[in-house]
Chain A
Amino acid sequence: MRLEYVLEMRDITKVFPNIVANDRITLKVAEGEIHAILGENGAGKSTLMSVLFGIYNLDEGEIYVRGKKTLINNPNDANNLGIGMVHQHFKLVENFTVLENIILGVETAKYGVLRVNEARRKVLELSRKYGLEVELDSKVSEISVAMRQRVEILKMLYRDNDILILDEPTAVLTPQEIDELIKIMKDLAAEGKSIIFISHKLKEIKQVADRCTILRKGKYVDTVNVQDATLEDLSEMMVGRKVQLEVDKTEAIPGDVILKVENLCVKAKESKKLKVNNVSFELRRGEITCIAGVDNNGQSELVLAIAGMIDSTGTISLNGEDLSNSNVRFRNTHGISHIPEDRHKHGLVLDFDLASNFILQTYFNQRFQKNGFLKFNEINSYAEKLIQEYDVRSALGHESIVRDMSGGNQQKAILAREMDREHSMLIAVQPTRGLDVGAIEFIHKQLIKARDDGKAVLLVSLELDEVMDVSDRILVMYEGEIVADVLPKNVTFRELGLYMSGSKKGEEYEAIVAK
């Protein structure tokens, strides 16, 4: 009986210092099957896969591969068993070429000397066979996210793996790219490869998976035939209650123009290419404007330029005041609040305590300092206030070192800081990335509250669901240009995807170009 499963994980338990990430979880995958794993953030999906792939050693349980009980102590063991994995965060060396990344670890070599030609041939063959188009000699830092993902898939195929794990592979793709990926997955399955596919997007699961295992808070819930389950069933099993997936919000009442951007251009660091190419738009009070687009199409640079963190040409004015030549501090104090894309790189000083992080841009205000000396009492009570208001949870209150806090609470801290600062415009870049539904809900509510308070909100998101649910107006960026300016009610997912992949351009865009 057991033989019918190519992979069987039984009663897997994995404990981290403060949490039981996997609690007696069972997973059975058949040959040629696409098996989805569904669960909220933190449900333990990645952990389970990491155990399977040998990154973590399990605390309890057994793993059978092709009917044989095995110990998987490191990725090598997994690889030898034909198990491959595409991680949620790509494991690619940025300044290596695509080819080097693919062969890393299983290089063909003679007396230790690399023999890349052989490898190149094999990779090209695979790439052709599965329609996985990649530029083998480009540096990874120069290629798009979608291509990086193809590289990761090629990495598995190159290793002749036949149990493939894909951890949230669709989170960063356009609908079209997702379709392509689904086709590839189906092809692979048809060849007899087994695929474990992690996602919390129910529609995709419905589309591609044969069966689905649901996890909740580290525990096994059930394994179902996807055909037999409705979307509602799946979501209920995942969250444990009936869920309302839409965001509650009233119609926007746009007011005056707050931000006006004209002919904004940003040069790329190394090349002469323009990352942001002659972008112009306006933001209005009381409206959430969303910039949609595939990662790396200039959204980040656009935001950094508006915040004054990188050099740009063109004009930016806020409330009629020209900001083009002013520095970050000036913009911070004249109405721009900014929830940055990377909370660890920009948003927080991880080794500071929470209170210090709350005053990161305001420490010089009369409120927090006198003659250059910090007023700690005032700072701490302010911190406590924010902690209360925004429900930021941590072990030691305002004294907690931010590094020790969970990602969701780190994000809430940033949100609290940026919302509470005096501002007329809020920029939020991927504010819900990696957060669980509760936190996402909270953040969406706050964005809407800001809008209703009469602020202009600029949301940058890669997730189409978020784009469609939260925004009042959508700008689509493609290769540094704004290619569409649409209202969510007038546009479908499909269309958005076309804009995002550059295959369609909005009328407004044509109009702009004509001008």
Chain B
Amino acid sequence: MKRLLLNKGFNSFLASLVSVICGLIIGLVIMFIFNPQGAWDGFIIMIQGGFSDSARGIGNVLYYATSFILIGLSVSFSFQTGVFNIGAIGQFTIGSFVTIYVAHHGTWLPAPIQWLVAIICGGIVGALWGIIPGVMKAYKNVNEVISCIMMNYIAMYLVNQLIYDSLYDNSLVGTRYVPTTSLMPRVGLDKIFPGSSVNLGFFIALLVSVLVYILLYKTTFGFELRACGFNPNAAHYAGVNEKRNIVLVMIIAGFLAGLGGGILHLSSISKYYKISEVFLNETNYAIPIALLANTHPIGVIASGIFISYITVGGTLMQGQGFPVETVDMITAVIIYFAAFSLVFKQFFTRITTLKFNKANKKRIQ
């Protein structure tokens, strides 16, 4: 038991859990302040999340989690290696468009691989979008936060223009609906979770998270990357080519984000990219999910599903008179409590080592 509590992973998990609980409690208080009658019912619906809408709800939790996980993973992965890929937003955007574009123009491909080609293309262009800030950081020492912000806006406006130029649909003010032949395979999930949009993409997200985990923690390449992340000077000393690695990290992170955008947009027959000058909604969650997961790739699965879970709950909560923004507020409070995780962790460590300390004190006296 003590061993378990001292285990870093478990300790972080516990700390996150406490953050979540505290966040939910504060959220409930806010809800009570604004609408005392509906608060409790609304809250219950929210924390029942996907479960309060039968199988479909669960299916939708998994569906929304798919893109959340992938974009959160993009940010987490970069964080772990010492880069702050705030550009996941733009990579997701451009990846979405390219996937839709390829889906439309790739209908000559055999149907079973149309989706695959499309999302891979989305990922690749996302990766290209990541290269630019990566190269700028590695070789020109340009702060990646600023270059990524610029790349995000460029992606957004560029995609808007490319849509006008290529797949524009007058009545949708966006791309046309994606062709049905290139939708993500449902692999029977539509039978288990009828009415939801969950598809193979979810398993891809899981698989990719595990792959990223393995990459980071089990391979020599990951070893290098993490060394760069924790201490670039030491990595340099150890002969690691940290410049090349920064670029590679941005490529991989860009690919993950682009893939997320692609999968999202091939998930439903009525999906299309709507021209907009606000970033896609999913991108708002990239950093929160990464932070909530303590930037661990497996943690991202949990936090992605969690955010998705309460988002679904939040939609249903509208029935109790709470606007969808309530969920964002609660999410924010939960993230804030993640800041306490250091305190929580110390607390857990203290109670587990209390005995040891007592003994020690005695010895001193």
Contact = CB atoms under 8 A, between A and B. Distances in A.
Direct contact of A and B (CB under 8 A): yes
Interface of A: 15, 17-18, 20, 307-309, 327-333, 338, 340, 345-352, 356, 360-361, 363-364, 368-369, 372-374
A349 B231 contact: yes
A327 B238 CA distance: 11
17 contacts: A17-B357, A20-B364, A328-B236, A328-B239, A331-B239, A338-B237, A345-B231, A346-B233, A347-B234, A349-B231, A349-B235, A356-B223, A360-B237, A363-B220, A363-B223, A369-B219, A374-B220
B218 interface: yes
B237 A327 contact: no
Given A369-B220, A373-B219, A374-B220, A351 B237 contact: no
A349 to B, nearest CB: 5
A332 B236 contact: no
A349 B364 contact: no
B100 interface: no
Residue of B224, B235, B237 with highest tally of chain A CB at under 10 A: B237
Given A327-B241, A372-B220, A374-B220, A351 B236 contact: no
A373 B234 contact: no
Interface string B229-266: 01101111111110000000000000000000000000
Contacts of A338: 237
B221 interface: yes
A329 B218 contact: no
A39 B331 CA distance: 55
Contact of B237 (A15, A17, A20, A340): A340
A152 B360 CA distance: 39
B241 A347 contact: no
Interface of B: 218-221, 223-224, 226-227, 230-231, 233-241, 357, 360, 364
Nearest to A331: B239
B223 A374 contact: yes
A316 B364 CA distance: 55
Nearest to B222: A374
A327 B239 contact: yes
B230 A361 contact: no
B218 A361 contact: no
B149 to A, nearest CB: 27
A373 B218 CA distance: 6
Given A327-B241, A328-B238, A361-B238, 5 more contacts: A17-B357, A345-B231, A346-B237, A349-B235, A360-B234
Nearest to B353: A17
Residue of A329, A349, A360, A363 with highest tally of chain B CB at under 10 A: A349
B360 A332 contact: no
A309 B236 contact: yes
Contact of B364 (A15, A356, A363): A15
